[in-house]
Amino acid sequence: MSGPTRAGFGLGLRKPHYAEFLEHRVAVDFLEVISENFMVEGGQPRKILRDIRARYPVALHGVSMSIGSADGLDPLYLARLRALIDDIDPLFVSDHLSWSRTGDFCAHDLLPLPYSEEALAIVCRNVARAQDALGRTLLIENPSRYVALPGDMTEWEFIDAVCARTGCGLLLDVNNVFVSATNHGFDARRYLDGIPTDRVRQIHLAGHSRGEAMLIDTHDQPVPPAVWDLYAYVLPRLGSVATMIERDDAIPPLHALLAELAIARKIARDAEWLAA
């Protein structure tokens, strides 16, 4: 099983910025795209992605593999994703620790899992199937949670067990940790202390919004101070991992996202100094 690894600082590639990335050499180490947007043969989307890939390393981030599906993974989905992987040779391949599909029903949402032994067996079976089919180590992303289901373990214990049993990696979304901790009243730093830090390969940083009763992972705001603080807290224990800024709505000019990325670079430099 293969998959390149490298550190660096990147952004999510979104349509408003396509031209700038194609016409100029932007100071990023990699770009991340939503896998499903490019899982078609030919056409303009795939051409754009190939052109981007000729200029920058690219990470693939999926939103509908449905890793927690008791029905197993969709073979057609895996075949289409494998074709994209073979075409693009991505830096990372990731998806969410959630489910969205059962039978012919697809929720088009990232639905929560119970952190139970039964769910753990299902997730591990699906992750192993995906890694075999894709020929890559899969990164699983910790979710934002709005419902706490009964289970046998904490989320961080569940993630640690999945990584240990399957050899998969972890995409640590720091904003998701903060959102879930705030919504469900646990200590975000305790969560970060409990994850398998040696399995973290990539970090997501993003903003969120406040709903009527809880925080919502909207990716439509700058990274807030509390999320920067958690990033600074965990980074010294992670070593050299890739970090990127996610923005999916209210997308600002590219220079604003690059300014946020500069903050991440500075925190990483400070973390290296502290760890020395």
pLDDT tens digit string along 24-50? Answer: 999 999 999 999 999 988 789 999 999
Contacts of 112 (CB under 8 A, 6+ apart): 98, 143, 145, 146, 147, 149
Q: Where are the alpha helices (DSSP H) in the chain?
A: 18-23, 43-53, 75-88, 117-134, 155-166, 174-184, 188-194, 225-234, 254-275
The ranges assigned to domains in the chain are 8-275
Q: Which residue has the tokens 């059962």?
A: 102
- pLDDT number for residue 2: 41
CATH number of 8-275: 3.20.20.150
The predicted model scores a pTM of 0.93
Split at pLDDT 50, 70, 90, the class of 111 is: confident
Band (pLDDT 50/70/90 cuts) for residue 273 is low
